[in-house]
Amino acid sequence: MCEECLVFTQRSQLSTVRHSRAYGHFSYIYPVISRRSRGLSIGVNLSLDNRCNYNCIYCEVDRSAPAAAAQVDPEALGQELYQMLSDLSPHSPALRDVTFAGNGEPMAVRCLDHCIDLAADTLDALGFADIPVVVITNGTFIHRPWGKRALARLAAAGGEVWIKLDAGDQERMTRINSTLFPLEKLEENIFDASRVLPVTLQSMFMKRWGQPPSDEAVDRYIGCLNRLTEAGAVIAGVQVYTVARQPRLSHITALDAPALEAIVSRIRTETGLPAASFA
């Protein structure tokens, strides 16, 4: 769930610094200028312990440092969000969304539904009723009872879900995301989520040992998108992106903009889905 960004180093002041999810004395909330939100996004990190059920080869989260306790306090989160939104001045960039992302998988948190309600209510109370709540997820908890509750609350709040899909075959998914979660189940979860609310897919393409993804890897990925749409999944769009900063694995590097755009072009032509690249 990593994001290239500009971070507020002081209230109402932007600077280009390495992304940190620490902001003042806040535990959960951090402001970023997000490429994919195309403006100011208020991020919500529910993974205070920095844990994730994936271990993506491109992940930029530093898990070597001691982490805080895992327990989420929704009321404290709500207070931080209220304070952050109250601090936005007329000179702040336009707010685009409030996004649950952070240092791990937000849908692993069982009170995510409550946190979504709090975020939507806070936006409403402070005059930001038209600003959506977004959840960025790897999709592996969508079939769980708390995942279903979260999606239902998100849909009721007029929000969006952005789901990670980095490969179109099991072997590559296992290698890229370092997970044994079945791709078939992920596709089922994407399909089920799309029956509840708009789904945007987020797909990471990168170089490994200096090599771009093979044509076969992109073929299999496009095949996966076509399986989803042919099954009736409603996909609002596909975001194709690459690494923004050096991941902990030094052989993972960014794909150049023309190569990303070539993948986007293939998605548009071969699936008919809206797609955009974020170099």
Which of 131, 243 has the CB closer to ligand SF4? Answer: 243
Minimal distance in Å, beta carbon 185 to ligand SF4?
16
Nearest-CA neighbor of 186 among 243, 228, 238?
228
Q: Which amino acid is at 248?
A: R
User: Is residue 54 a contact residue for ligand SF4 (CB under 6 A)?
Assistant: yes
Residues 234 and 194 sit within 8 Å (Cβ to Cβ): yes
Q: Find the binding residues for ligand SF4 in span 76-105 (CB under 6 A).
A: 104-105
Task: Show the tokens assigned to 235.
Answer: 């996909």
Task: Show the tokens assigned to 110.
Answer: 């069982």
* CA 264-270-238 angle, 5° bins: 40
Task: Show the tokens assigned to 130.
Answer: 């038209």
Minimal distance in Å, beta carbon 45 to ligand SF4?
10
Which of 55, 246 has the CB closer to ligand SF4? Answer: 55
User: Is residue 2 a contact residue for ligand SF4 (CB under 6 A)?
Assistant: yes
Q: Which amino acid is at 124?
A: D
User: Is residue 247 a contact residue for ligand SF4 (CB under 6 A)?
Assistant: no
- 55, 86, 211, 246: residue in contact with ligand SF4 (rule CB under 6 A): 55
Residues whose CB falls within 8 Å of the CB of residue 90, separated by 6 or more in sequence, listed in order: none
Residues 77 and 115 sit within 8 Å (Cβ to Cβ): yes
The count of chain residues that interact with ligand SF4, using the rule CB under 6 A, is 11
As a whole number of angstroms, the distance between CA 229 and CA 265 comes to 17
Piece of 11-19, 47-55, 250-258, 263-271 that binds ligand SF4 (CB under 6 A): 47-55
Piece of 56-64, 71-79, 225-233, 235-243 that binds ligand SF4 (CB under 6 A): 56-64
Minimal distance in Å, beta carbon 113 to ligand SF4?
20
- Tell how strand 133-137 and strand 206-208 pair up: unpaired
Piece of 54-62, 109-117, 205-213, 216-224 that binds ligand SF4 (CB under 6 A): 54-62
Minimal distance in Å, beta carbon 44 to ligand SF4?
14
Which of 206, 222 has the CB closer to ligand SF4? Answer: 206
Which of 56, 235 has the CB closer to ligand SF4? Answer: 56
- 37, 45, 138, 200: residue in contact with ligand SF4 (rule CB under 6 A): 138
Neighbour-count burial of 17, counting CB atoms closer than 10 A to its CB (0-12 exposed, 13-18 middle, 19+ buried):
exposed
As a whole number of angstroms, the distance between CA 31 and CA 231 comes to 37
Task: Show the tokens assigned to 257.
Answer: 């903009």
- Report which secondary-structure segment, H or E, holds 137: strand 133-137
Which of 101, 235 has the CB closer to ligand SF4? Answer: 101
Minimal distance in Å, beta carbon 139 to ligand SF4?
10
Binding stretches for ligand SF4 (CB under 6 A): 1-2, 52, 54-56, 59, 61, 104-105, 138
